[in-house]
Amino acid sequence: MTLLAAAQADFPLHMPVIVAGGGACGLVAALAAHDAGAEVVVIERDPVPRGSTSMSLGAVCASGTADQRRLGVDDDAERFAADVMEKTRGTADLALARTVGQLSGEAVDWLREAHGVELSLDPNWPPAFGHSRMRMHVSPGRSGTDLMDRLLAACDRAGIPIVTSATLESLFVEGKRVTGVRYARPDGSREDIGCGALILATCGFGGNHAMIAKHIPAMREARYFGWEGNQGDGILLGEAMGAALADMDAYQGLGLLAEPAGIDLNPRFLIEGGVQVNRLGQRFSNELDDVSGQGARVIAQPGSMAWVIYDERIHRSCFDLPQYVALREVGGVQSADTLDALASRAGIDPAGLAETLAAIPHGEADAWGRRFDTPPLAPPFHAVRVSGALFHTQGGLAIDTGGRVLDEEGNPFPNLLAGGGAARGISGRGPSGYLPGAGLSSAIALGLACGRTAATLA
């Protein structure tokens, strides 16, 4: 990752807007710049754009959408921002939280109306884990792969070129202005393009072990279950230009990575009344208060493992989830008619499990503050063994509400923008500020902001 003097450049091609990174943020930014009248190109490291977006459950939290209004959900950017500030204990950037609240809704409606990318409110995701309103939106295929396919098809229809197998490695700069980029090809050759504005959408640094050890040392040894190509390249280039970094210790973890299949289990199993126990059959937390921090809690259990225990009602209610279908196909779900048999099959202490389930108070809060308003678990029972993992980093380049990267003094660079995992998100500090759906929400909302701003600057 290097900076080169603009005087060294001899660009064979100049594009008003270049987007580096073809995940949800980059593709939405490209569509937004295109709709605002700018010619735009996306450069993407991989032969096929996939990114963390394709690994995700594809669930986007968004407020003030047409779908919410249609279903009578009273939500807006202020309520969204209030939830963010409460979940992050005031450590998130309020202006950014309001912007994501506002633009997430706008983006969901605009993607559907202008580009045929369907994202609908999912009534199976009740408000939980810090959301006070039903605001999770999913594409028809209910997966990140499906969302990526739809965004790529939209770019194709819009005639937006995507240069694949092109790894951004250097910026040409003149003072604080970016005049162009250099990217590397798999055969070792290099190509340069000049630009009017550059959007960094290269995601976070989860795949960069040295950066994790520096910024999130507590997760240094944790399994990383995000896109390996997310090496923090955009963040490192911005930093080299003198950009400020923010919330670098923030991350999205999850304690629901099914083992050994490596498939993430939807939090719906817990929302619907399931529990998480350790090898001794004991619960160890309020499973519904911190979807991200639960990753570290699972890692802290004996053997760094836990099990999600649920019943037939929950099992059947999750048949629509493609990840669950895949998990069942590979034999990742243990089932039995009695708790005792389930515990023996799964390798959990039977007496501990029976005692734990018998102790759940229905209709009132338990020792960790969780209220079970769902029916008591009834046979037959099911179990999935899970581990905790680091999914996605949440800190990055400091930006203003238009996506412009800020320097150490808080001044925007003239034509450098960032969004999605490359920019600071709305999760505040540490592991516990992450709200479900906030990763894609930031990617899409800030992609929209960056695309619009870049078109104006270019």
Contacting positions for ligand FAD (CB under 6 A): 20-26, 43-46, 49-53, 55-60, 167-168, 201-203, 225-227, 229-230, 233, 252, 264, 391-392, 420-421, 437-441, 443
Interacting residues of 250 by C-beta distance below 8 A, sequence separation 6+: 393, 394, 395, 424, 425, 427, 428, 429, 430, 431, 433, 434
Whether omega for the bond prior to residue 140 falls within 30 degrees of 0, making it cis, is: no
- Provide, rounded to whole angstroms, the least separation between the CB of residue 171 and ligand FAD: 11
Distance, in Å, from the CA atom of 228 to the CA atom of 233, rounded to the nearest integer, reads 12
Q: Which is nearer to ligand FAD, 38 or 201 (CB)?
A: 201
Closest residue to ligand FAD in the complex (CB): 23
Separation of first and last alpha carbons in the chain: 24
The nearest distance, CB 107 to ligand FAD, in angstroms, is: 13
Q: In the complex with ligand FAD, which residue's Cβ is closer, 231 or 356?
A: 231
Query: Burial letters for 59-82: b for 16+ Cβ neighbours within 10 Å, e otherwise?
Result: bbbbbbbebbeeeebebbbebbbb
Length of the chain: 458
Q: How far is the CB of 61 from ligand FAD (least distance, A)?
A: 7
Residue 194 or 420 having the CB closest to ligand FAD: 420
In terms of CB distance, is 52 or 415 closer to ligand FAD?
52
Q: From the CB of 402, what's the least distance to ligand FAD, in Å? A: 17
Q: For ligand FAD, which is the closer residue by CB, 117 or 348?
A: 117
Q: Give me the least distance between CB of 424 and ligand FAD, in Å please.
A: 12
Shortest CB 130 distance to ligand FAD, Å: 13
Phi and psi of 257, rounded to 5°? -90, 110
Angstrom CA distances, 315 to 255, 270, 308, 435, stand at 19, 11, 11, 24
Instruction: Give 203 or 277: the residue with its C-beta nearer to ligand FAD.
Output: 203
Element (H, E) at 106: helix 94-115
Q: Which is nearer to ligand FAD, 21 or 395 (CB)?
A: 21
Q: How far is the CB of 60 from ligand FAD (least distance, A)?
A: 6
Q: How far apart are CA 217 and CA 352, in angstroms?
A: 33
Angle at 256 between CA 253 and CA 261, to 5 degrees: 115
SS3 assignment, position 143? coil
Q: Encoding tokens for residue 104?
A: 């997430």
